[in-house]
A and B are shown apart, each in its own frame.
Chain A
Amino acid sequence: MNAVDAWFYDGRTPRRQAARLIVADGEVVATGEFGIRKALLADLEISEPMGGAPRTLRFPDGALLEVPDGPAMADWLREAGVADSTVVRLQTRWHWALGALVASVVLIAAFYVWGLPMVSRVVAERMPQSVSEALSRQTLALLDDRMLSPSKLPEERQKALAQHIDAYLGSGGSIPAYRLHFRASEIGPNAFALPSGDVVVFDELVKLAKSDDEVAAVIAHELGHVVYRHGMRQLIQSSVVSFVVGVYFGDVSSVASGLAALALASNYSREFERQADDYGVWLIRHSGHDPEALAVMLDRLEAAYAKAHVGESARSMLASHPETAERVRRIRESGVSRTG
């Protein structure tokens, strides 16, 4: 059995004393000017190999043995029957490291594409109604406070429109539960849905529509968001994405992490918009009407948006609404394929 040179520290002062180590019958014996120290190999805390750092053996009472010669220590341990752990062995080879890199990329991609959407769908479905109600109430109150003002449409007009929409979309018998709210806003023509089933439509959108049926078509799209709980799912998914990206890029650049999180979350939004489009088309058709109204409204909304934001790029990478032309085409094509 080879002996290996070490430095001994008694744990009470940092005074360094020379020592020689041997192993006999599973017991480590250290001899030096301090006398003899013995301990069972199993009782010692042996450090993992880490490149140029000295390896250490720690006694239960805090005394320490430091071995500067890494390779000699490795040989000595092997003779003593102590093997490196699996993880340590994985860390020493480059091909394992590269394998771990590939595996990490694949796992993260799989999580982003399948894992997270699936988990968020399950969580959103099991979320208690009271939570989504509270959340929606808060959001609406916040928006009313900051960006929205009461609708300028007369009471009777609002009631009539609401009744028309109900009848238009409900004639098939499968309309989900919802509450309609009217607001005015400087944002322009728009409508959105909250997780609780509250749908908000802006005066400007009502003005943009050439008939009440067209307003109803937009509501049908919004009901898609309600039915599939897109609001809650987007909240969960974008939060998780922000958190993970923040952890990964956090030390380096908050700008990079913010942009990355935004781009990744927008991707999810695009998927949701597509799904809401499909639902809207189905609901309209199920109630016996022509989904062309939805396509027409989308075109008009896009034109109004473009007019209001002259000079900005229409092909914005960060836009959460997929190319509207693409959406309109999908809606119209779905019509063609079904009536064949």
Chain B
Amino acid sequence: MTEAALANYYDVLGVSPQASLDEIRAAYHARLKVFAAAIHSSDKPQGNDLDLLRQAFSTLVDPQARHAYDTTLNADTNASQGSGGMSPLPIGTGNTDPKAEEPPVDFSRNFRFTGDGGEYFRIWIVNLCLSILTLGIYSAWAKVRREQYFHRNLQLDGSGFEYHAKPAAILKGRVIAFAMLGVFSGSQHLGATAHGAVFLCLMLLFPWLVVRTMRFRALNTSYRGLRFGFEATYWQAFKIFIGYGILVTLSLGLAFPLYYRQMRKFVIDHARFGSTPFACDVGIGLIYRIFVLPGLASIAMMIGVFVLALQMAPTKGGGGAPLLFPFIMLLPVMAYLLIHALIVVRTSNAVWSHTRLGAHRFSCDLPVGGYLGLALTNWLGILFTLGLFSPWAKVRMARFRAEHLAIHAFGGLDDFVAGETSKVSAVGDEAAEMFDMDIAL
């Protein structure tokens, strides 16, 4: 009965079992067009119909996979002595068409970032000045411009990404977020119970904010005219951020890598491009291995600094060595940068390299040394220029990260269709930023 359950890939594509690669590709693109047109009609095709189509294509376009599939199909046909004029001849091996020996279609592209530090500085400083002049109101327009700069200069296969949020929505979101911050700070002065109550409310609000942030960002980002999306319920977010968060506290931090992996997976699994979902299958063991060494090193360093600080501290009997103190404080900063770089690089590489979009895969190969050098020079540059270097720093980091990210697609980047789109306000996004809850990919 497996034959009935297993859809026939040739039928899905509408080609004969002897079809050439070109015919298969052409049939696939034709089917996609039909699909895209159908999206806007009353009988909407199912999402898994598209997955099936894609699966059919990726199997049949790879000669080895196709051969294996044909074998299965032939076995089923022989077993059930079914109808249909399918030839038991294995396709591909006897085929003298040279095109059949081609390696499977693989479309690998690195991302690029075409921004320039000086150019972004000019945008940044003019917008900063206008924001100051308008007592902060223009900052919503400044933010839109900043996001557009970093979206549109991130290019894949010659096209940039787009950012669609409107300044008015951002401004409204900021006002509400500011009010929330005011209530939270103000409650501090009204007593421990009031403050505690407000804190508890905010904690319960947090999963809702996360989902709205992700949704706002996703729906307002597009590539080649197709928007991204994000769908998750409050409880799904609650389980991750509150549930696993409490677990981290109870386990004194030992469960943090688990929480981190669940969080990254949550964000990716619920995101989609058009109607196609992303998926992340990074292993928990891999994440734990990334965190173990830096975690131990951090603890060792904290103990070391504590001991050193005790020895250095001036006592009543006689002073310590106050001149050495700044250098002692610099050591943990350097160590922190190194540990931070290690974690960021390894987790980015691991998570991205285990992320899929439909049948396509991503890969990320950030080098630790390169990242560390970049982060250090950025940090020093910003400190010594009192912040004026930050536009260059941001551009440098964006370029570095983009260059080391790539997508590996079967048959190009065309096999997506638009998903459901709807409006969402900016409250979540702005509130999250105000409370510094940036959960970026």
Q: Evaluate contact between B159 and A66: CB separation under 8 angstroms.
A: yes
CB distance from A85 to the nearest CB of B (A): 11
Residues in B neighbouring A249, C-beta threshold 8 A: 387
Q: How far is the CA of A12 from the CA of B32 in the complex (A)?
A: 10
Q: Evaluate contact between A51 and B224: CB separation under 8 angstroms.
A: no
CB distance from B61 to the nearest CB of A (A): 18
Looking at the complex, which one of A7, A12, A135 makes contact with B189 (CB distance below 8 Å)?
Answer: A135
Once A52-B115, A138-B190 are accepted as A-B contacts, the answer to whether A13 and B226 lie under 8 Å apart by CB is yes
Please name the residue on chain A nearest to B314 by beta carbon. A311
Residues in A neighbouring B160, C-beta threshold 8 A: 53-54, 56, 66
- Interface size class on chain A is 35 or more
A323 within 8 A of B: no
Residues in B neighbouring A48, C-beta threshold 8 A: 145, 148
Q: Which of A96-104, A167-175, A184-192, A198-206 contacts B (4 or more CB under 8 A)?
A: A96-104
CB distance from B146 to the nearest CB of A (A): 11
Q: How far is the CA of A253 from the CA of B40 in the complex (A)?
A: 50
Q: Which of B89-97, B117-125, B286-294, B423-431 contacts A (4 or more CB under 8 A)?
A: B117-125
B379 within 8 A of A: yes
**Total residue contacts A-B, CB cutoff 8 A:** 156
Please name the residue on chain A nearest to B185 by beta carbon. A239
Question: What sequence of 0s and 1s flags, for each residue 1-36 of chain A, a beta carbon within 8 Å of any chain B beta carbon?
Answer: 000000101111111100000000000000000000
Looking at the complex, which one of A7, A63, A104 makes contact with B159 (CB distance below 8 Å)?
Answer: A7
A256 within 8 A of B: yes
CB distance from B329 to the nearest CB of A (A): 9
Residues in A neighbouring B274, C-beta threshold 8 A: 13-14
Question: What sequence of 0s and 1s flags, for each residue 406-425 of chain B, a beta carbon within 8 Å of any chain A beta carbon?
Answer: 00000001101110000000
Once A47-B152, A64-B224, A103-B129 are accepted as A-B contacts, the answer to whether A15 and B414 lie under 8 Å apart by CB is yes
Please name the residue on chain A nearest to B141 by beta carbon. A87
Q: How far is the CA of A267 from the CA of B226 in the complex (A)?
A: 53
Question: What sequence of 0s and 1s flags, for each residue 310-332 of chain B, a beta carbon within 8 Å of any chain A beta carbon?
Answer: 00001110111010000000000
CB distance from A325 to the nearest CB of B (A): 22
Please name the residue on chain A nearest to B417 by beta carbon. A13
Looking at the complex, which one of A100, A103, A134, A312 makes contact with B314 (CB distance below 8 Å)?
Answer: A312
CB distance from A14 to the nearest CB of B (A): 4
Q: For chain B residues 350-367, which have a beta carbon within 8 Å of chain A?
A: none
CB distance from B182 to the nearest CB of A (A): 10
Residues in B neighbouring A256, C-beta threshold 8 A: 383
Q: Evaluate contact between A9 and B224: CB separation under 8 angstroms.
A: yes
Q: Evaluate contact between A134 and B189: CB separation under 8 angstroms.
A: yes
Q: Evaluate contact between B152 and A53: CB separation under 8 angstroms.
A: yes
Question: What sequence of 0s and 1s flags, for each residue 153-189 of chain A, a beta carbon within 8 Å of any chain B beta carbon?
Answer: 0000000000000000000000000000000000000
A304 within 8 A of B: no
Q: Evaluate contact between A104 and B129: CB separation under 8 angstroms.
A: yes
Q: Evaluate contact between A51 and B129: CB separation under 8 angstroms.
A: no
Residues in B neighbouring A15, C-beta threshold 8 A: 29, 32-33, 36, 414
Q: Evaluate contact between A51 and B132: CB separation under 8 angstroms.
A: no
B155 within 8 A of A: yes
B252 within 8 A of A: no
Q: For chain B residues 5-35, which have a beta carbon within 8 Å of chain A?
A: 29, 32-33
CB distance from B339 to the nearest CB of A (A): 15
Q: Evaluate contact between B416 and A13: CB separation under 8 angstroms.
A: yes
Once A48-B148, A52-B153, A312-B314 are accepted as A-B contacts, the answer to whether A14 and B130 lie under 8 Å apart by CB is no
Please name the residue on chain A nearest to B149 by beta carbon. A50
Please name the residue on chain A nearest to B436 by beta carbon. A250
Q: For chain A residues 116-136, which have a beta carbon within 8 Å of chain B?
A: 134-135
Q: Evaluate contact between A252 and B379: CB separation under 8 angstroms.
A: yes
B344 within 8 A of A: no
A72 within 8 A of B: no
Residues in A neighbouring B129, C-beta threshold 8 A: 100-101, 103-104, 107
Residues in B neighbouring A53, C-beta threshold 8 A: 114-115, 149, 152-153, 155, 160
B128 within 8 A of A: yes
Q: For chain A residues 244-258, which have a beta carbon within 8 Å of chain B?
A: 248-253, 255-256
Q: How far is the CA of A63 from the CA of B40 in the complex (A)?
A: 14
Q: Evaluate contact between B314 and A91: CB separation under 8 angstroms.
A: no
B301 within 8 A of A: no
Once A97-B122, A97-B126, A252-B382 are accepted as A-B contacts, the answer to whether A12 and B153 lie under 8 Å apart by CB is no
Once A51-B153, A312-B314 are accepted as A-B contacts, the answer to whether A87 and B126 lie under 8 Å apart by CB is yes
Binding site for B on A (CB under 8 A): 7, 9-16, 47-48, 50-54, 56, 62-64, 66, 68, 87, 90-94, 96-97, 100-101, 103-104, 107-108, 111, 134-135, 138, 239, 248-253, 255-256, 310-313
16 residue pairs bridging A and B, Cβ less than 8 Å apart: A9-B225, A9-B226, A13-B274, A14-B274, A14-B413, A50-B153, A62-B225, A62-B418, A64-B162, A66-B160, A66-B224, A68-B158, A96-B126, A97-B126, A111-B132, A249-B387
